[in-house]
Amino acid sequence: MFSHLPPYAGDPILSLMEQFQRDERSNKVNLSIGIYTDGRGVVPVLPSVRTAAAAVAEVGAPYVYLPMEGHAAYRQAVAKLLFGADLPSAEHLAIVQTLGGSGALKVGADLIARFFPQPTIWLPDPTWDNHVGIFEGAGFKTERYPYYDAQTKGLNFEGMLAKLDSLPKGAVVLLHPCCHNPTGVDPTRAQWEQIVDVLEKRGLLPFFDLAYQGFAESLDEDIWPVREAVRRQIPFFLSNSFSKIFSLYSERIGALSVFCPQAGQAANVLGQLKLTVRRNYSSPARNGALLVAHVLGDDKLATQWRAEVEEMRVRVRDMRVKLASQLKSAVPDQDFSFLLRQNGMFGYTGLTSTQVDRLREEFGVYAVGTGRICVAGLNDSNVARVAETMAEVLRG
């Protein structure tokens, strides 16, 4: 019956997690998956979330189904967090709770594929590997626009802009508003303005994927391109995730927002999103939504949570500085300042896949094959060893 099924080669990120867990070396370091660990190397339960969890448990509400679109208070709180003072009215904004950011991408992709036949999505080169899987799985053709410049270890802004400026009206373009995954290379504000100009001028349909809000500059600054699209009345899709910024990875909690500049269209979009959810998994799970809604709905807890995100951001930045400086001492003829210009959890090191294999096999330091490391997995106890082992493989 199943003899024609080929074996699964494994996911380039998740299979490293499995391999790491099997690794028995006590000095192993996991810099593969995008998970924040604190200074002790532990995935934190944020204190604001701990307080919310106690309050949610105290209420002990029955486990009834949520509506297809998700928990009402959660959706409202998330919309406020995302759009701030630019919050569009319900006539213009359709928002649904989703299973993390991946679920939001999938629901959005399915919706587009249903109403815009033979869709193509333009992805940055490179991008998160699963963007390809999710959009191709929904029936999209995937194309690339230039993004990363391996020579400068920075942004190929001219190449990116020229490609976007050549796309046909209505072309779907995936953009990372901040903390680009995997490179950590983000456009400056001035460059974003030019990118948004092109989106507007050419009538492109942005699909913003926001998984690391708050890890570059701040919760509000990191979402600037999205809010600018609202101000300019550009329709868009926005997937966002609370895995990293609430440290709620296994709760699978996120949202999909669709901004509809033309009044009245959001109702039908919301209806079709609900249908998409119904056909995929019927309705979302409740616990993560209750936790996030409780934190964001309580001014004191929300302020506390903002400070917790800031603490994570600052710790990751501090680790970048330490890694760059220790690498510089170990390999003085190479420049590691690019690590300081990159944002968010990831460092795109330029290590080759052979060097990454050596790091893992010889030293138990796990990075993704593309040379991506999760800087948020570094701490004062492992950064020196990581720098030494990276230096070792760089020297050849």
Q: Which stretches of the chain bind ligand LMR, using CB under 6 A?
A: 13, 33-34, 128, 130, 181
Classify each residue of 311-345 as buried b or exposed e, where b means 16 or more C-beta atoms within 10 Å of its C-beta.
ebbebbbbbbebbbebbbebbeeeebebbeebbbb
Residue nearest to ligand LMR (CB): 34
Active-site entry in 106, 110, 122, 128: 128
Written as one letter, the residue type at 352 is T
Residue 11 appears among annotated catalytic residues:
no
What is the C-alpha to C-alpha distance for residues 127 and 25, in angstroms, rounded to an integer? 31
Q: In terms of DSSP H, where are the helices of 23-144?
A: 47-59, 72-83, 100-115, 129-137
Residue 128 appears among annotated catalytic residues:
yes
Q: Cβ of residue 34: shortest distance to ligand LMR, in angstroms? A: 3
Residue 209 appears among annotated catalytic residues:
yes
What is the C-alpha to C-alpha distance for residues 36 and 374, in angstroms, rounded to an integer? 8
Active-site entry in 244, 274, 305, 322: 244
- Asked if 215 and 240 count as a contact pair (C-beta separation under 8 A), the reply is no
Q: Token digits for 290?
A: 């209750």
DSSP code at position 7: P
| 224: phi then psi, degrees, rounded to nearest 5 | -50, -45
Torsion angle of C-alpha atoms 65, 70, 76, 79, degrees rounded to 10: 160
Q: Cβ of residue 128: shortest distance to ligand LMR, in angstroms? A: 5
Which CB sits closer to ligand LMR, 239 or 379? 239
Q: Cβ of residue 112: shortest distance to ligand LMR, in angstroms? A: 21
Q: Cβ of residue 384: shortest distance to ligand LMR, in angstroms? A: 24
Active-site entry in 110, 186, 209, 222: 209
Which CB sits closer to ligand LMR, 34 or 126? 34
Q: Cβ of residue 340: shortest distance to ligand LMR, in angstroms? A: 21
Written as one letter, the residue type at 111 is L
Which CB sits closer to ligand LMR, 130 or 355? 130
Residue with tokens 């989703």: 98
Catalytic residue set: 128, 209, 244
